[in-house]
Amino acid sequence: HPDVAGISFTGSQSVGHGVLTGAAKRQARVQLEMGGKNPLIVLDDADIERAVMVALDGSYFATGQRCTASSRLIVTDGIHDKFVAALAEKVAALRVGNALDPNTQIGPAVSEAQMETSYKYIQIAREDGGRLVTGGDRPQLDTPGWYVQPTLIADTSPSMRINTEEVFGPVASTIRVKDYEEALHVANDTEFGLAAGIVTTSLKHARDFQRRARAGMTMVNLPTAGVDYHVPFGGTKSSSYGAREQGFAAFEFYTQTKTAYSWS
């Protein structure tokens, strides 16, 4: 509409591209946040309990319906099996149920279509060779709802669809790598670039990751899905376009600077 001077959009890539095309025709301001396929690297030197809790929070809470959720768990060989076993135990124990029940940890998906999307990608991952560690079932509960059993899939490769396409549900996959350099390469090898995390006790690797990770936000020993509203929010590559959301960046986006001269 000609009266719209700018638009801030959060959603899918396909809709975002349409918004951008429409805004460009009128030279309207636009900022887009269009999802992610966020990696969490777990190195051999990580505190295993911390790593499991970071992955559990980042991948599954809010039913995995966060654009910053950790969906690709990239784990070095020395800790991989131990990490998968420990995380699977926690995932299997998550309580799925009515979102209004205070004992519920995983509520329903936002829609039936989103529920079916999660199960579709679980099936695709299995057909592509992924190993279903836990989850994948359809919960039968007293309270009606679009429930998805939290699911962990291991033995996946970076090129599988489960690791390249956004699921937006309580589904995470693990990728085994030999060392930090391979882990960083796999983390960056995606069209998305919203959030990225690492769990390590090495200050060297933590600082290097913050510098070289191709993402708009990086987390060290913290869930990728935890952000603060007073700092800029946004990503790189296909995840974002235009100015950052939140914090001082939001003031800049919603402000038109006017320079005025006068003489008297």
Q: Is 127 a catalytic residue?
A: no
Together in a domain, 203 and 123: yes
What pLDDT shows up at residue 13? 87
Together in a domain, 12 and 121: no
* 226 in any annotated domain: no
What pLDDT shows up at residue 262? 97
* 109 in any annotated domain: yes
Range of the domain at 55: 38-220
* 91 in any annotated domain: yes
What pLDDT shows up at residue 241? 94
Alpha helices in 27-172 (DSSP H): 48-60, 77-92, 112-127
Q: What share of the chain is helix, strand, coil (3-state, %, to 5)?
A: 35, 20, 45
Together in a domain, 244 and 166: no
What pLDDT shows up at residue 227? 83
Q: Is 245 a catalytic residue?
A: no
- In this structure, what CATH number is given to the domain that contains residue 125? 3.40.309.10
User: How many C-beta neighbours within 10 Å does residue 178 have?
Assistant: 10
What pLDDT shows up at residue 149? 98
Taking alpha carbons only, the member of 83, 62, 29, 28 closest to residue 199 is: 83
Together in a domain, 17 and 45: no
* 213 in any annotated domain: yes
What pLDDT shows up at residue 1? 83
Model confidence pLDDT, tens digit, residues 147-158: 999 999 999 999
Together in a domain, 17 and 126: no
Together in a domain, 74 and 190: yes
**pTM exceeds cut of 0.85:** yes
Which residues of the chain are under the pLDDT cut of 50? none
Together in a domain, 122 and 74: yes
Q: Which of 33, 127, 182, 245 is catalytic?
A: 33
Together in a domain, 60 and 177: yes
Together in a domain, 12 and 135: no
Q: Which of 67, 112, 116, 252 is catalytic?
A: 67
Together in a domain, 72 and 159: yes
Together in a domain, 180 and 243: no
Model confidence pLDDT, tens digit, residues 61-84: 999 999 999 999 999 999 999 999
What pLDDT shows up at residue 229? 87
Both tokens assigned to 30: 């636009």
Q: Per the structure, how many domains does the chain have?
A: 2
Together in a domain, 60 and 190: yes
